[in-house]
Amino acid sequence: MRFERRDGPGSLNRRRNPTARAWLPLRIQTPRGVLSFIGTTTVFGTPVDITLAELAIESFFPADAATGELLREAAADAARHTDA
């Protein structure tokens, strides 16, 4: 069973596929350049309130330094336009 788990379908066995990753980046081409994100989804495991039963929160985070910098620049530009 140990070998099935490690080498079975969907495994990230690096001996077979050294470039395998546990995540797939979301890449978006913009006029400022390519933005690369990783995403996470959060769900409430055992909600007490029924209104939380179907709630899922999807968040995206910069996958590289260039994306983080482009987002900071875009936020600064937006703040300047809002203040004007």
- At 55-68, the pLDDT tens digits run 888 999 999 999 99
Statement: the pTM of the whole predicted model exceeds 0.75:
no
Stretches where the chain sits below pLDDT 70 are 1-23, 47, 83-84
**CA 16 from centre of chain:** 25
